[in-house]
Amino acid sequence: MKQQSEQRIDHAIRLLLQTLERNVTDTGIILGEYEATHDDRELCDSIQYGALNAGYFAMKDAIETINNRLNK
């Protein structure tokens, strides 16, 4: 039972990292497109852009935190 739960947590971590990395990539593309089509003022005024940007960096921080904890 103990070994099975350890295997399940390893699998869950891999899936979480894959999902976060895929979402960071997709979100980065969308942010890049938005930045290419809007000026700085529009970026600052956009609530949606600000929210997505915050989520993007939160996901990057989560990936870094997970990797740091796994590599200790």
Domains in the chain: boundaries: 18-70
Q: What is the DSSP string of 17-46?
A: HHHHHHHHHHHHHHHHHHHHHS-HHHHHH-
Q: What is the pLDDT of residues 3-30, one digit of tens each?
A: 999 999 999 999 999 999 999 999 999 9
Percentage of the chain exceeding pLDDT 90: 94
Mean pLDDT of 45-63: 98
pLDDT over 90 at 40, yes or no: yes
pLDDT of residue 2: 87
